[in-house]
Amino acid sequence: MPCTAEEASSSVQFFYRGKPMKILQPDLSGTRIRLEKEEAYAYLLRHKKEEEDVTGVHFVGLFLDEESFGAMTFKECVLASCRMMECKLEGGSWIKNEWIACDLSGSRMSEGYFHRNRFRDCKMMGTDLCQGNFQEMILEECNLGYSNWDQGRFKNLLYRACDCERTFFSDGRMKNVYWEECRLAGVNFFRTPLRGMDFTKCELGPVTVSDTFAELRGAKVTAMQALSLSRLLGIEIASE
């Protein structure tokens, strides 16, 4: 299906296995409210109480620590240098947002709906994103260590230069998920098919898969990566 003019102007194009790919991104060129720190926090509290969507806001330096803002909708927002740690944000809808240098470590964002979000230089260590629905997303230079994406549904995602040490992606469904220059050490892909994915530009360490190794069928790896993965089979490869 052809994309609209608005979609064409707000998409990121790149090449994957020599073929052009495109991921839709938020168009945030319109006028928005800019709120910082305490003013931003008060704004959120008011919208939570009134059960209103948060739309078109540029948050700067918002600080939330163990706060609860679950089941809220954030649409066409920019979140820059925000700290939202150990927060309860379950069941939220995140639509067309830009995240820049934010820290979401330890927050619970499970069962969330993420559509056309872009994360740049964000820290999401131990963040719980399980059972989420992720569409048209780009994550660049993010620390995703120990985060939980189990039972997620992924469509049109690019992970670029992210640290995914011991990240959980088990029982997931992935379609058009791309990996570029990521660190994938100790990642759990249990019962998540990786067919068609190219890991040749990534650091692919030991991964967790099922006893049948079915998850790895159809994935593209380098010779050295294949050598490392062969240890899952208990094979010892001797030098000639």
- Read out DSSP for 155-212? EEEEEES-B-TT-B-TT-EEEEEEEES-EESS-B-TT---TT-B-TTSEE---B--TT
DSSP annotation of 27: -
In a domain, residue 184? The reply is yes
In a domain, residue 37? The reply is yes
Mean pLDDT by runs of 10 across the 240 residues of the chain is 46 76 85 90 96 96 96 96 97 97 98 98 98 98 98 97 98 97 97 96 92 93 87 60
Residue-level pLDDT at 28: 86
CA 161/CA 68 separation, integer angstroms: 31
Query: CA nearest 106: which of 94, 88, 118?
Result: 88
Helix (H, G, I), strand (E, B) or coil at 11: strand
In a domain, residue 30? The reply is yes
How many residues can be counted in the chain? 240
User: Residue 212 maps to which CATH number?
Assistant: 2.160.20.80
Residue-level pLDDT at 18: 72
In a domain, residue 178? The reply is yes
Q: Quote the radius of gyration of the chain (alpha carbons, Å).
A: 19
Range of the domain at 208: 12-232
Residue-level pLDDT at 233: 63
Residue-level pLDDT at 17: 67
**Does an H or E element contain 71, and which?**
none
Angle of CA points 69, 73, 78, to nearest 5°:
95
Residue-level pLDDT at 237: 54
Cα 7 to the center of its chain, rounded Å: 20
In this prediction the pTM is 0.90
| DSSP result, 208-230 | B--TT-GGGTT-B--HHHHHHHG
User: In this structure, are strands 113-115 and 93-95 parallel, antiparallel, or unpaired?
Assistant: parallel
Residue-level pLDDT at 239: 58
Residue-level pLDDT at 10: 75
Cα atoms in the 13 Å half-sphere on the side-chain side of 203? 10
Give how many domains the chain has, as a whole number: 1
In a domain, residue 7? The reply is no
Residue-level pLDDT at 161: 97
Residue-level pLDDT at 85: 96
In our burial notation (b when 16+ CB lie closer than 10 A, e otherwise), range 7-16 reads eeebbeeeeb
Query: CA nearest 7: which of 30, 23, 31?
Result: 23
Q: Are 201 and 222 in contact (CB under 8 A)?
A: no
CA 23/CA 2 separation, integer angstroms: 13
In a domain, residue 137? The reply is yes
Contacts 24+ apart (CB under 8 A), 66-69: 69/44
In a domain, residue 3? The reply is no
Q: Are 74 and 94 in contact (CB under 8 A)?
A: yes
Q: Per the structure block, which two tokens stand in for 149?
A: 């994406």
In a domain, residue 226? The reply is yes
